[in-house]
Amino acid sequence: MLPADRIVRTTCPYCGVGCQVDLHVKDRRIFRVTAPFDVAPNYGRLCVKGRFGVDFVHHPERLTRPLVRKAFGQRPRQPVGLDGFREASWDEALELAADHLAHVVRTRGGDAIGTFCSAKATNEDNYVFQKFVRAVLGTNNVDHCARLCHAASVTALQMAIGSAAMSNSIAEMSRLDVFLVTGSNTSETHPVISTFLREAVVRRGAKMIVVDPRETEMTHFAALWLRQRPGTDVALFQAMAHVIVHEELYNADFIAARTEGFEEYAASLADCTPEWAETISGVPAEMIRQAARLYASAERAAIYWGMGISQSVHGTENALALANLALLTGHIGRPGTGLNPLRGQNNVQGCSDSGGLPNVFPGYRRVDDPQVRAEYEAAWGVSLNPRPGLTTMEMAFAAEAGDIVAYYVMGEDPMMSEPNLRHARHIVEQLPFLLVQDIFLTPTAAYADIILPACSFAEKEGTFTNTDRRVQRVRRVLDPPGAARPDWEIICDLAKRVERKLGRTSSAGFDYDGPEAIWQEMASLTPPFQGITYARIEQEGGVHWPCPSPDHPGTPYLFADSFPRGRGQFVSLAYRPSAELPDENYPFILSTGRVLYHWHGGAITRHSGLDNIYPEPVVEIHPHDAARLDIRPGERVRVRSRRGEIVVRAAVTARSPKGVVFIPFHFAEAAANELTLDLLDPKAKIPDYKVCAVALERLSSP
What confidence tens digit (pLDDT) does each residue in 372-387 have?
Answer: 999 999 999 999 999 9
Please, which pLDDT band fits residue 433 given cuts at 50, 70 and 90? very high
Average pLDDT on 684-688 reads 90
pLDDT score at 344? 85
- pTM for this structure? 0.96
pLDDT score at 506? 65
* Beta strand residue intervals within 319-404, DSSP E: 338-341, 360-361, 365-366
Chain CA centroid to CA 265, Å: 30
Contacts of 353 (CB under 8 A, 6+ apart): 123, 362, 363, 364, 465, 469, 526, 528, 529, 545
pLDDT score at 702? 52
Look at residue 505 and tell me whether its pLDDT is greater than 90: no
Q: How far apart are CA 431 and CA 425, in angstroms?
A: 10
Average pLDDT on 102-125 reads 98
What confidence tens digit (pLDDT) does each residue in 300-354 have?
Answer: 999 999 999 999 999 999 999 999 999 999 999 999 999 999 998 999 999 999 9
Average pLDDT, the chain: 96
Q: How far apart are CA 677 and CA 641, in angstroms?
A: 9
Please, which pLDDT band fits residue 4 given cuts at 50, 70 and 90? confident
Look at residue 236 and tell me whether its pLDDT is greater than 80: yes
Q: Are 598 and 289 in contact (CB under 8 A)?
A: no
Please, which pLDDT band fits residue 34 given cuts at 50, 70 and 90? very high
Average pLDDT on 653-672 reads 96
Which run of H or E residues covers position 410? strand 406-410
Please, which pLDDT band fits residue 150 given cuts at 50, 70 and 90? confident
pLDDT score at 669? 94
Q: How far apart are CA 333 and CA 329, in angstroms?
A: 11
pLDDT score at 607? 96
Please, which pLDDT band fits residue 149 given cuts at 50, 70 and 90? confident
Look at residue 609 and tell me whether its pLDDT is greater than 90: yes
Q: What percentage of the chain carries pLDDT values higher than 90?
A: 94
Average pLDDT on 203-217 reads 97
Look at residue 516 and tell me whether its pLDDT is greater than 80: yes
Please, which pLDDT band fits residue 175 given cuts at 50, 70 and 90? confident
Query: Can you list the domains of the chain with their CATH numbers?
Result: 6-58 (2.20.25.90), 67-147+347-528 (3.40.50.740), 151-342 (3.40.228.10), 588-700 (2.40.40.20)
